[in-house]
Amino acid sequence: MKVLVQRLPRAEGLPLPGYATEGAAGMDLVAAEAATLPPGGRALVRTGLCIALPDGFEMQVRPRSGLALKHGVTVLNAPGTVDADYRGEVGVILLNTGAEPFAVARGDRIAQAVFAPVTRASWEEVVVLPETQRGTGGFGSTGRG
């Protein structure tokens, strides 16, 4: 799949998103600006990139496991969605759940981009839904957690 990308001036000299290994599902997104997140703080960190996805696809913005484990830094609205018709700059909303301030430097890998097909649904209103074995049981009703 080909994704068109426009590099804004703030991203000059930074690498385009790429796969770290042959089997990687996500491409690393890098920060195009510095930011400091205090404990419990959040910030929109810009990537300096605008994209044009093919119709029928989305780009999901997901946390990096190393940042989450080592520093408690995650993507607040994970996964964030970049729609096929959005043409603005891609930004990542980072949240610091750790106990120490976390500094993001320009060029740091801050999130992953995963591409996925989109299935569009339509609603069909009914008076009664079909029965299932589970029925209306939820939130742990199956006894498996």
Q: What is the pLDDT of residues 39-65, one digit of tens each?
A: 999 999 999 999 999 999 999 999 999
Residue 132 within a domain: no
Number of compact structural domains in the chain: 1
**Any domain includes 80:** yes
Instruction: Write out the residue range of the structural domain in which residue 8 sits.
Output: 4-117
**What local confidence, expressed as pLDDT, does residue 14 receive?**
98
Q: What is the rounded CA–CA span in Å between residue 78 and residue 1?
A: 23
Rounded Cα distance between 52 and 29, Å, is: 16
Q: For tokens 């994704």, name the residue.
A: 3
Rounded to whole angstroms, the Cα distance separating 47 from 53 reads 16
Confirm whether 139 is domain-assigned.
no
Q: 125 in a domain, yes or no? A: no
Question: Mean pLDDT across the stretch 120-136?
Answer: 94
CATH number of domain containing 36: 2.70.40.10
Predicted confidence band at 136 (pLDDT cuts at 50, 70, 90)? confident
